[in-house]
Amino acid sequence: MSQTDTITAKPSMPRMIDPFGRAVTYLRVSVTDRCDFRCVYCMSEHMTFLPKKDVLSLEELESVCNAFIEKGVRKLRLTGGEPLVRKDIMVLINRLGAKVKSGELDELTLTTNGSQLTKFADDLYAAGVRRINVSVDTLNPEKFSEITRWGRLPQVLEGIEAAKTAGLKVKINAVALKNENEAEIPSMIEWAHGNGHDLTLIETMPMGDIDEDRTDQYLPLSKVRSDLEKQWTLTDLPERTGGPARYVRIEETGGKLGFITPLTHNFCESCNRVRLTCTGQLYMCLGQDDNADLRAAFREGGQAALSEAIDEAIGRKPKGHDFIIDRNHKGPAVGRHMSLTGG
């Protein structure tokens, strides 16, 4: 272990408190809007991606992350688009990982579709990443290709194995989709728990235009839960992450199951997070369009202007979101795609 590994800085006090008294300690960063998949609930098949000049450079992303760390952020999650398709992404991950090693951050983590993990798993571990979320909506290879359009299940499963071998704890995320994976949920839980992975189910959120009707996809997790209760014993866990997830233990499998229910449950009162897009827009709430242009602040006024823009943005973090999916609200509740803010 090097000297820097052993030096632990004092945890910083939360310095970003929003108007509702919530400390913002968690930043999710979308490092690219691009992806090697085209999941049906996330993107349309023919997406137009952003011009390079609009996207923050790796150096700019690092500066913005550092500004948040100085203001009390303790946890960073990189997401996208697909974070591991961003060119030279390990440069940023290594730099941010150094903040974990020095104690300035508690955790650096990633949400990924898993397609590039065989290539990156060892490097991620060496950088200081210890846990990752991998999205897998089905274990049926044909269905997987249908849902992701361009994805191949065996490649993702190999990636998960590589991550496990590298020492990374893997949590599986699955979007619950009516008529797609609904019947398969119990076997996915058995597979995940049998392989030592927790699993979290996510309700579809109405974000961005896609090629399908969202009311056809929407499957309330309250229904999934009551179906599972016919088969298994679900014990509520007190665990809270400051986000929309609620956890249970399934006594029969011994594993943990999470439910992310932004539509059927209100989680906003304990929200501790903000989201940065790859173009430097800071969204104070996943379900609202209000955002702050940190790229303009930083490119025009440097660190000082960036710091001021962050403080101003946190000062207008809203109380909550207003997602609705029903037959009368077919369009997206927020115009941007999930791939821009990264979920």
Q: Which residues bind ligand SAM (CB under 6 A)?
A: 35, 41-42, 79-80, 82, 111-113, 135, 173, 175, 202, 204-205, 207, 338-339, 342-343
Least distance (Å) between residue 177 CB and ligand SAM? 10
Least distance (Å) between residue 34 CB and ligand SF4? 9
Q: Report CA torsion sign: 139, 143, 146, 151.
A: positive
Indicate which of ligand SAM, ligand SF4, none lies near residue 307 (CB less than 5 to 8 Å, by partner kind). Answer: none
Indicate which of ligand SF4, ligand SAM, none lies near residue 204 (CB less than 5 to 8 Å, by partner kind). Answer: ligand SAM
Least distance (Å) between residue 113 CB and ligand SAM? 4
DSSP state of 319: S
Q: What are the Cα distances from residue 202, in Å, to 209, 218, 263?
A: 19, 10, 10
Indicate which of ligand SF4, ligand SAM, none lies near residue 202 (CB less than 5 to 8 Å, by partner kind). Answer: ligand SAM
Q: Report CA torsion sign: 30, 262, 131, 21.
A: positive
Indicate which of ligand SAM, ligand SF4, none lies near residue 192 (CB less than 5 to 8 Å, by partner kind). Answer: none
Closer to ligand SAM by CB, 111 or 279: give it.
111
Least distance (Å) between residue 99 CB and ligand SF4? 25
Closer to ligand SF4 by CB, 45 or 311: give it.
45
Amino acid identity at 118: T
Indicate which of ligand SAM, ligand SF4, none lies near residue 173 (CB less than 5 to 8 Å, by partner kind). Answer: ligand SAM
| Site track 17-36 with ligand SF4 (rule: CB under 6 A), x = hit | ------------------x-
* Binding span for ligand SF4 by CB under 6 A among 39-47, 96-104, 288-296, 317-325: 39-47
Least distance (Å) between residue 340 CB and ligand SAM? 9
Positions 90 through 149 that interact with ligand SF4 (CB under 6 A): 113, 135, 148
Indicate which of ligand SF4, ligand SAM, none lies near residue 258 (CB less than 5 to 8 Å, by partner kind). Answer: none
Facing residues of 77 across strands?
Answer: 28, 109
Cα separation, 329 vs 74, in Å, equals 37
| DSSP per-residue string spanning 36-83 | S---TTT--SSPPPPPGGGSPPHHHHHHHHHHHHHTT--EEEEESS-G
Report angle CA 191, 193, 197 to the nearest 5 degrees.
Answer: 105
Indicate which of ligand SF4, ligand SAM, none lies near residue 105 (CB less than 5 to 8 Å, by partner kind). Answer: none
Residues 278, 55: contact at Cβ < 8 Å? yes
Which helix H or strand E contains 200, and what residues bound it?
A: strand 198-202
Positions 280 through 339 that interact with ligand SF4 (CB under 6 A): 339
The sheet with strand 169-175 has its strands ordered as 234-236, 245-250, 256-260, 198-202, 169-175, 131-135, 107-112, 75-79, 26-30, 273-276, 281-283, 291-293
Closest Cα partner for 34 from 153, 115, 109? Answer: 115
Indicate which of ligand SAM, ligand SF4, none lies near residue 255 (CB less than 5 to 8 Å, by partner kind). Answer: none
How many angstroms separate the first and last alpha carbons of the chain? 35
Q: What are the Cα distances from residue 236, in Å, to 137, 248, 257, 331?
A: 23, 4, 10, 34
Q: What are the Cα distances from residue 336, in Å, to 89, 113, 177, 208, 251?
A: 23, 20, 20, 5, 39
Q: Does 173 bind ligand SF4 (CB under 6 A)?
A: no
Indicate which of ligand SAM, ligand SF4, none lies near residue 43 (CB less than 5 to 8 Å, by partner kind). Answer: ligand SF4
Closer to ligand SF4 by CB, 43 or 286: give it.
43
Closer to ligand SAM by CB, 173 or 181: give it.
173
* Contact residues: ligand SF4, CB under 6 A: 35, 37-39, 42-43, 80-82, 113, 135, 148, 339
